[in-house]
């Protein structure tokens, strides 16, 4: 059959059905961008005198062979050959449909139909998703790749890094669906595991495929583990969970027994994307304790413990007083240190702090020692000089020892005083 011969030359896949009434039909499947010839079957290979082609009932192109009409304008994508066949260059997805040839042979009309199917492989990759099963111990993994023609072959597998894909489930989808799902037990899943869906299609060529994957991760709730609140105020505990895949179910619980927290007047639960908030209204000492942000996905459960400490106003007042006293002590120490430093010369001379107080009167005190008597009870004054000033005579006497008679020290004789004044050198005179 001529249609079969043409398809074989183009390496196309086709199926031919011959009707007993003389109407002939065939099916051709080609990939986009290829060239295809749709035959107009005639008995005995006789060249028709006139050929007309329609697509889905609408006239497409015609040719009067006896009049020498051209098959089409130069550069046209559709042409009618001398034997009545329809030539289509660079097949596109829009060329798919049912083509009908009406050929006139010696006043007889022969009609034949051809079904053209275009291989369609979407540019996008398949979509990998998951959903929980009714049984908590299982998980559904879904793979879809819609828009392909004919229906693709989808495969779910476990990807081993650098070691290929291990087959989990294989299904050749029918024409009514481009969807594949596989149900897996949670015991088969682990953290870091990669689930991969592979889509194969004739339009992708030999060895061609498109894929999508899911890398499974354990949940990891994150937040501040220690929170402090003032009594009679509101406090908000915050927890975020962004790493889990499949996404984890996150809830707040309270206490070692992990009691469920229900949103109400006391507790307000809210969520904004991956951030989960627990607001405690009018905090009291009874609210102090441990709270748990619990995240669970098919791989397992992890928790974040948040400990809430409630402070009273008395505690804060005591803290303020303690700080004030500490500052006062430090300030006093600084003042004393400055005082000691400013009087360091007196401290070093051995007079001490008591002597510093006595020295503030700027009075020189002369005390007796065991060896010398500095001043006598009476100091003689010289007669006035011409300038009106007096000259005072001062002499340092040797102080008697403690064994001498006290009467001699306290009351010297006038004769002794006179002798002393007369024998003193002029160099010992001091003028005031």
- Residue-wise pLDDT tens digits, 84-103: 889 999 998 889 899 999 98
Q: For the segment 118-152, what is each residue's pLDDT rounded down to a tens digit? A: 998 888 999 999 888 888 788 889 999 998 888 88
Residue 240's DSSP bridge partners are: 222, 275
Q: For 64, phi and psi rounded to 5 degrees?
A: -100, 105
Domain assignment of residue 76, yes or no: yes
Total domains in the chain come to 5
Same domain, 77 and 113: yes
Please provide the DSSP assignment of 145-190 as one string.
-TT-BSPPEEEEEEEETTTEEEEEEEEE--TT--EEEEEEEGGG--
Residue 161 sits in a domain whose CATH number is 2.60.40.10
Whether 429 shows a pLDDT value over 70: the answer reads no
Q: What does the DSSP 8-state code read for residue 48?
A: P
Interval 66-89 mean pLDDT:
81
**Residue 335 sits in the same domain as residue 394:** no
How far apart CA 259 and CA 256 sit, in angstroms, is 8
| Residue 66 token pair | 């006896």
Q: Under a CB-based contact definition with an 8 Å cutoff, are residues 238 and 224 in contact?
A: yes
Coil, strand or helix: which one is 194?
A: strand
414 with 351, same domain: the answer is no
- Interior angle at CA 358, CA 354 and CA 363, nearest 5: 150
Residue 252 and residue 163: Cα distance in Å, rounded?
Answer: 41
Distance (Å, rounded) from C-alpha 214 to C-alpha 195?
5
Q: Indicate the residue among 311, 334, 350 that finishes a domain.
A: 311
The pTM is what?
0.53
199 and 138, same structural domain?
Answer: yes
Domain of residue 379, residue span = 372-431
* Strand pairing report for 24-30 and 108-118: parallel
From 64, 61, 86, 91, select the one nearest 73 (Cα to Cα): 61
In this predicted structure, the answer to whether residue 16 has a pLDDT above a threshold of 50 is: no
The mean per-residue pLDDT over the stretch 406-420 comes to 46
**Listed residues 79, 98, 118: the one ending a domain:** 118
Looking at the DSSP bridge assignments, the partners of residue 242 are none
């Amino acid at each position: 059959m001529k249609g079969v011969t043409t398809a074989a030359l183009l390496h196309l896949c086709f199926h031919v059905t011959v009707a007993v009434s003389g109407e002939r039909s065939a099916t051709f499947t080609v990939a986009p961008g290829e060239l295809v010839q749709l035959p107009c079957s005639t008995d005995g290979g006789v060249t028709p005198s006139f050929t007309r082609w329609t697509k889905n009932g609408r006239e497409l192109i015609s040719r009067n062979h006896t009049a020498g009409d051209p098959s089409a304008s130069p550069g046209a994508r559709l042409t009618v050959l001398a034997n009545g066949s329809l030539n289509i260059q660079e097949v596109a997805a829009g060329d798919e449909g049912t083509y009908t040839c009406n050929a006139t042979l010696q006043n007889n009309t022969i009609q034949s139909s051809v079904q053209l199917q275009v291989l369609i492989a979407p540019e996008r990759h398949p979509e990998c998703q998951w959903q929980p099963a009714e049984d908590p111990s299982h998980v559904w993994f879904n793979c879809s790749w819609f828009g392909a023609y004919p229906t693709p072959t989808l495969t779910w597998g476990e990807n081993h890094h650098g070691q290929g894909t291990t087959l989990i489930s294989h299904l050749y989808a029918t024409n009514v669906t481009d969807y594949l799902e596989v149900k897996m037990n949670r015991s088969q899943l682990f953290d870091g595991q990669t689930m991969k869906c592979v889509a194969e299609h004739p339009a992708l060529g030999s060895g061609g495929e498109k894929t999508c994957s899911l890398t499974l991760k354990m949940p990891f709730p994150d937040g501040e583990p220690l929170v402090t609140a003032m009594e009679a105020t509101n406090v908000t505990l915050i927890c975020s969970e962004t790493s889990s895949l499949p996404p984890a179910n996150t809830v707040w619980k309270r206490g070692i027994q992990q009691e469920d927290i229900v949103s109400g007047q006391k507790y307000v639960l809210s969520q904004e994307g991956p951030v989960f908030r627990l607001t405690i209204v009018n905090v009291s000492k009874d609210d102090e304790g441990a709270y748990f942000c619990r995240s669970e996905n098919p791989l397992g459960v992890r928790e974040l413990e948040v400990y809430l400490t409630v402070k009273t106003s008395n505690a804060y007042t005591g803290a303020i007083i303690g700080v004030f006293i500490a500052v006062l002590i430090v300030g006093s120490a600084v003042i004393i240190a400055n005082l000691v430093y400013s009087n360091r010369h007196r401290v070093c001379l051995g007079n001490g702090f008591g002597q510093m107080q006595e020295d503030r009167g700027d009075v020189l005190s002369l005390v007796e020692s065991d060896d010398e008597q500095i001043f006598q009870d009476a100091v003689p004054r010289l007669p006035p000089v011409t300038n009106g000033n007096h000259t005072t005579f001062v002499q340092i006497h040797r102080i008697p020892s403690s064994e001498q008679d006290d009467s001699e020290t306290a009351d010297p004789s006038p004769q002794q005083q006179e002798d002393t004044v007369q024998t003193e050198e002029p160099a010992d005179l001091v003028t005031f």
